[in-house]
Amino acid sequence: MKPTLSPQGQAAQTISRNMKLISHNELAGFGGVGEGINMQITKDGRRILWLAHESAPKNFTAVDVTDVKNPKVICQTDLPHERVRSNSLDVVGDIMVVAYQTKQVGDKPAGMDVFDISTPEKPKLISHFDASGPHSRGAHCVWFVDGEYVHLTSGSGDFEPTNEIDFQFYRIIDVRNPSKPVEVGRWHYPGTHKGDKEAPPPRHPKFEGGYRPHNVNVFPERPDRAYVAYLDGGAVILDISDKSNPKMITNWRNSPPFNGFCHTVMPLFSRDLLVVTEECTKDDGIDWPKLGWIVNASMETNLIPVSTLPMPPVENFIKRGGRFGAHNIHENLPGPASFRSDTLVVGTFFNGGVRVFDTSNEYQPQEVAYFVPGTPKLSPKGSVQINDVWVDEKGLVYAVDRFTGGLYIIEMTL
């Protein structure tokens, strides 16, 4: 394709700054990836990228990225039926946990699987944690970094929400015995459970996303804190020093007037900051702005937003089609194959691709790199929809498309 004077609004055209594509893999024709990416370093030294698919028919895919120029799919599994999606996974050592969310309440499998992936070509199911129930659609996200506890956003057989779309809450699952996962604690947003003394929380007037946790971050630096993004409930910090009884310390809500769907709350510990992202859930800029926020957390009980991650003009990108706005970021997971930075933030923005920000000055974050692939083959949106990202300890970026594009391995030239 020939270049044009103005390529941003042209979905077919790849645009970039300070990022270079190393390789691209369409994942054997199943290039729709959700928001679960993690990297395993096997005992024989191979680097395996695990990807949870966005929707059926595929469950998860393992890609050997030892040679990043030549990534190879070594395992791809199927879901039992079309009414369930996996979406999220995490890996610690040779143990992988995968979330399952159903389309309808009451359906199965709903909850979480635990796998032994010591032979990545042949994952072995160790156990299934059932979270199904008359009001449950199972689990949306897992956070598993210490090999002991999974921080799960899930429904449960014994949980009846006050509003049917608030069907998930925060559950802490002990997997120290991976063959018998057990819940050790839970927390839900006040007023979302039938029988709560608090009144149900107010609904978002324009874009109702519900009160469910999306990502939960718990780091070894602060094992007594859970950083929870609670969709329309905003950012929540919980004291989990007693896992059986999490307590809310603070709740920062920017919506309304903003458009809700708080997605990730990631602390930058050395700087007393949080990166809070929302998720764009509508095509064509309808729910714009969906942003990444930098929040001063030096007083946990008084979170103050100080800036947002700068975005290119929405008018150009909505011409590309599909969603444009914030979504996942690389979450600084601990682990041998994960990039950790308290200044550089790498995020995904659907048709805005993968974008990198230098937040050294938290009041004026700078966009320092981006890579926006041209439209993948057979894309239903007519544009790339970069959904999630993993950055390895060497700074290589693994970005995935939500529908057909699969995996893009990108080098930052920062």
Partner 1 sequence: MKRDALSGRFPVSIITGFLGSGKTTLINRLLKRPDMNRVAVIVNEFGEQAIDNDLVEVSSEQMMLLNNGCLCCVLRGDLQETLRDLFVKRRNGDIIDFDRVVIETTGLADPAPVMQTLMTDDILAENYRMDCVVTLADAVNGVEQLDTMPEPVKQAALADRIVITKSDIAGEAATAALEARLRELNPQAPIKRAVNGEIELAFLIDVGLRNVKAKLEDIQKWMGEPDDDHGDDHGHDHGHAGRHAAGVSSFCLRFDQPMTWAAFSQTMEVLGALRGSDMLRVKGLVNVAEHAGPMVVQGVQHLFHPPVELAAWPTEDHNTRIVFITRNIPRATVENLFHAIGAVGKVA
Task: Report the distance separating Cα 230 and Cα 138, nearest Å.
Answer: 16
Residue (6 or 302) nearer to partner 1, CB:
6
CB of 71 to partner 1, least distance (A): 23
CB of 4 to partner 1, least distance (A): 6
Residue (240 or 337) nearer to partner 1, CB:
337
Residue 316 carries which DSSP code?
H
Residue (10 or 215) nearer to partner 1, CB:
10
Q: In the block, which residue shows the tokens 């990022």?
A: 19
Residue (378 or 414) nearer to partner 1, CB:
414
Residue (296 or 341) nearer to partner 1, CB:
341
CB of 224 to partner 1, least distance (A): 26
Residue 9 carries which DSSP code?
T
CB of 364 to partner 1, least distance (A): 10
Which of 154, 172, 148, 275 minimizes the C-alpha distance to 220?
148
Strand partners, 285: none
Residue (159 or 339) nearer to partner 1, CB:
339
CB of 273 to partner 1, least distance (A): 15
Task: Give the angle 402-406-412 at the CA atoms, nearest 5°.
Answer: 100
Q: DSSP secondary structure string, 323-388?
A: BBS---B-----STT----SSEEEEE-BTT-EEEEE-SSTTS-EEEEEEEPPPPTT-TTSS--EEE
CB of 15 to partner 1, least distance (A): 5
Residue (13 or 156) nearer to partner 1, CB:
13
Other residues' Cβ atoms within 10 Å of the Cβ of residue 136: 27
CB of 8 to partner 1, least distance (A): 2
Residue (122 or 394) nearer to partner 1, CB:
394
Which of 409, 311, 294 minimizes the C-alpha distance to 360?
294
List of residues contacting partner 1 (CB under 8 A): 2-9, 15-18, 312-313, 316-317, 339-341, 343-344, 358, 360, 366-369, 395, 413-414
208 Cβ contact list (under 8 Å, min separation 6): 165, 232, 260
Query: Helix-strand-coil percent breakdown of the chain, rounded to 5?
Result: 5, 40, 55
- In this structure, the chain runs to a length of 414
Which of 270, 332, 296 minimizes the C-alpha distance to 143?
332
Task: Report the distance separating Cα 347 and Cα 290, nearest Å.
Answer: 13
CB of 408 to partner 1, least distance (A): 16
